[in-house]
Amino acid sequence: MIVRHLKDAKQSQRKVVSPDGKWDSVRLLLRDDNMGFSFHITTIKAGEELHMHYQNHLESVYCISGRGEIEDLQTEKRHRIEPGVVYALDKHDKHILRAESELQLACVFNPPLSGQEVHNEAGSYELV
């Protein structure tokens, strides 16, 4: 059994801050936990716009708090993000995430991240 507390993980190497300071991610479960996925609590700062394209991972995201939108760049459809909304990037969807207010998101990645990844120029995580 694995038991971790978010407040403890925030004070450890499990908290990763983007180089540009737009987001941080507390990685509660990682590849070494052997669950087949990783689980993160990610915070996006208010006013930020993140261009992402997870070419190597599938991701599902549940909004805990905050408001924003996600835009699917293939279809140009925009969807409201608010508490209670889940979205899944099931086709390696190229997208833009906009935070109107600070967003706190619960994120699941498959395959799991190893821990210290940050987005590359394409807005993707490299496979390790």
Strand partners, 21: none
pLDDT digits (tens, 9 = 90+) for 29-45: 999 999 999 999 999 99
Burial of 70 (0-12, 13-18, 19+ CB in 10 A): buried
> In the chain, what are the domains?
22-110 (2.60.120.10)
- Note the pTM of the prediction, 2 decimals: 0.93
Q: Which residues does 42 contact at the CB level (< 8 Å), separation at least 6? A: 23, 24, 25, 26, 103, 104, 105, 106, 107
Q: Who contacts 90 (Cβ-Cβ below 8 Å, separation ≥6)?
A: 58
Q: What is the pLDDT of residues 12-22, one digit of tens each?
A: 999 999 999 99
pLDDT of residue 34: 97
Kindly indicate the confidence band of residue 6, based on its pLDDT and cuts at 50, 70 and 90: very high
Respond yes or no on whether the N-terminal peptide bond of residue 112 is cis (omega within 30° of 0).
no
- Rounded to whole angstroms, how far apart are CA atoms 117 and 73? 23
pLDDT reported for residue 112: 95
Report which secondary-structure segment, H or E, holds 98. Answer: strand 94-99
Reported as type and span, the H/E element at residue 18 is: none
Average pLDDT, integer, range 114-128? 80
